[in-house]
Chains A and B, each alone.
Chain A
Amino acid sequence: SNELTQPPSVSVSPGQTARITCSGDALPKRYAYWFRQKSGQAPVMVIYEDSKRAPGIPERFSGSNSGTMATLTITGTQADDEGDYYCYSADTSDDYREMFGGGTRLTVL
């Protein structure tokens, strides 16, 4: 399958832990990446190669990939973390394709 599935929305209270999941058949064999997009802005990489934080990303962001599901976890969520989060992976086999999940809107209530 060439699809990555994310929940459309996740809501948390400030200071709580937010978890955004991404499921797909390609994930056991390929790295997952996470991007955040704030309204009117270009996306920014948050997590690369499953669990590595991109430069400048706070330590409260972490990633994991187990089996067919990748998870982005934000511990101690802050209002500034609101935005749309997209997972991404690539299948570089003979049938090359790159794919984004549908995106998850994170709301900090």
Chain B
Amino acid sequence: VQMVESGGGLVQPGGSLRLSCAASGFSFSTYWMTWVRQAPGKGLEWVASIKEDGSERHFVDSVKGRFSISRDNAERSLHLQMNNVRADDTAVYYCVAGGWVWGRGTLVTVSS
């Protein structure tokens, strides 16, 4: 049972980044999937969630209109498209399955 995030890195303010998460070892299509982030030295923050079939998507206010979330159940993958990023988006981003399975996180650094 694991999830592995990828796609993090250094991006300039106003730029874009696409995070991905590959799941294995559990029934991916039966879980709400979530992105949670953690700024350096700070606590956990919910970012976005998507229903099992993708019919519902929800975002924290600070990323609405800039981030989008998607999933591919056939490929067992989750994605977070980050547009117009800001310095305060700098964080480790975790993908989470129903609260039960967490990836190890991928670091996004927004800096010029």
Cβ of B99 within 8 Å of any chain A Cβ, yes or no, is: yes
Interface of B is mostly: strand
Q: Report Cα–Cα, A58/B57, bound state, in Å.
A: 35
Q: Total A-B residue pairs with C-beta atoms closer than 8 Å?
A: 41
B58 touches A42 (CB 8 A): no
B49 touches A43 (CB 8 A): no
B60 touches A97 (CB 8 A): yes
Cβ of B43 within 8 Å of any chain A Cβ, yes or no, is: yes
Q: Report Cα–Cα, A43/B104, bound state, in Å.
A: 9
* Chain A positions near chain B (C-beta within 8 angstroms): 33, 35, 37, 42-45, 48, 54, 84, 86, 88, 96-103
* Chain B positions near chain A (C-beta within 8 angstroms): 34, 36, 43-46, 49, 58, 60, 94, 99-100, 102-105
